[in-house]
Amino acid sequence: MDASNDLVIIDNVKLVISQVQPSKSNKNKGKSVGGRPLGEIWLHFGRKEAILPEKFEAEYKYCSAKWKKADTLSGRQTTMKDFYDSTELSEDFVKKLNATYNLPSQDYLSGRLFEGELTNVNENIQMDLSKQNNLTLSLDGWTSGNHQSYWNFIILTPSCKEYLYQLSNLLLDSHTATYLAKKIENILEQIEPERISAIVSDNAANVCKTRRLIKDKYPHIESVRCISHCINLIANNIVNHVFVNHLLIQINILASFFHNSHLAGAKFNQLIKESGIKGEGFKSYCKTRWVISSESVNSVLNLKSIIKKMVENHTEYLTNTRIKAIVNGHNFWADLNILAFILNLLRKAILALEARKTTLTDCFLNLT
């Protein structure tokens, strides 16, 4: 073969190759644009002039406000639900809706407007109570997270309406029976004692003595102990038993591990999602809530299959050796079932008695 024929063959090969291989422009055609996808906030903003590569001015779609790259929204806001840092923008938006309307100031809202509405509410409550008889006064006290001592005094009407009559911070006062009786007497005199039929309170020692003092001065007022509080005391006696307390400690160990372990928690939640189990996951036990002991036990029983699957098939995630020992412990699940049966009865009774339309008949039925 001569040299001229070689050149023809080579040129033909080049031509075939060029026809088979797509061009660079065709190769990139149809590909999605790379980079991070736009966030939800861009649903409400339009992109304008590019300031830097992939950095654009933003114009709010509902008015003429604009932001450049150097402008930021406070609080690391990423969605319009969190958007609160532009008084000027809000005023502009409201003006477009109603040009004659002026936004009220913060002082006006928190001062005059709020106090005026509070006065109207109090007047309506007083007007309603003035027409009622056979009222019930309920009182309770608690300590807040910042160690303040609050007491509320609630008036209940025969039609099951509840009015928060007084909320007081009694931190600086000693809660003796005499002091509490005086506070109750002041409320009774404001409402008129003849229209009060009963006083409901818990069973603390100072409150029990307070009830006796009120009963001596106002014999027609019945002294009623909070039945839900009585049932809760029964539940507390149960959970303080060594057998039950040991189970609740084990529940808290399980809950704390899967809440605090990043890898184990992620795998655990994945298995829950795949299995379709409904519920809110683990619930740790604490003494401050009345029905939490029952809810804690039920949460573990609800996740029994997932917990066992973690122990049997995914031990590499269980960095705490106590998890496997607890789950495979002798009679652990049988003991939980027994405890759940007992606590569920008390839980149902407490929730039923806390209902708005509960009567003394309901109290009796839940105790029998």
State the DSSP code for 111.
Answer: I
- Please list the residues that pair with 156 across neighbouring strands: 136, 162
**125 in any annotated domain:** no
| DSSP secondary structure, 77-106, as one string | --SGGG----HHHHHHHHHHH-TT--PPPH
Residue indicated by tokens 């399980």: 254
Domain around 149: 134-225
pLDDT at 323: 92
Q: How many domains does the chain have?
A: 3
The tokens of 319 are what?
């960095």
> Is residue 173 a contact partner of residue 179, using CB atoms and an 8 Å limit?
yes
Q: Is 46 helix (H, G, I), strand (E, B) or coil?
A: strand
pLDDT (average), residues 253-260:
91
pLDDT at 231: 81
Q: What's the pLDDT tens digit per position in 324-339?
A: 999 998 889 999 999 9
Residues 348, 261 share a domain: yes
**61 in any annotated domain:** yes
Model confidence, pTM: 0.55
Q: What's the pLDDT tens digit per position in 201-233?
A: 888 888 889 988 998 999 999 888 887 788 878
Residues 202, 256 share a domain: no
> Is residue 170 a contact partner of residue 141, using CB atoms and an 8 Å limit?
yes
> Is residue 222 a contact partner of residue 198, using CB atoms and an 8 Å limit?
yes
**248 in any annotated domain:** yes
| Angle made by CA atoms 45, 51, 40, in degrees to the nearest 5 | 25
> What CATH code is carried by the domain that includes residue 168?
3.30.420.10
pLDDT at 3: 43
Residues 63, 185 share a domain: no
Q: What's the pLDDT tens digit per position in 148-168?
A: 889 999 998 888 888 888 888
CA 72 to the chain's CA centroid: 30
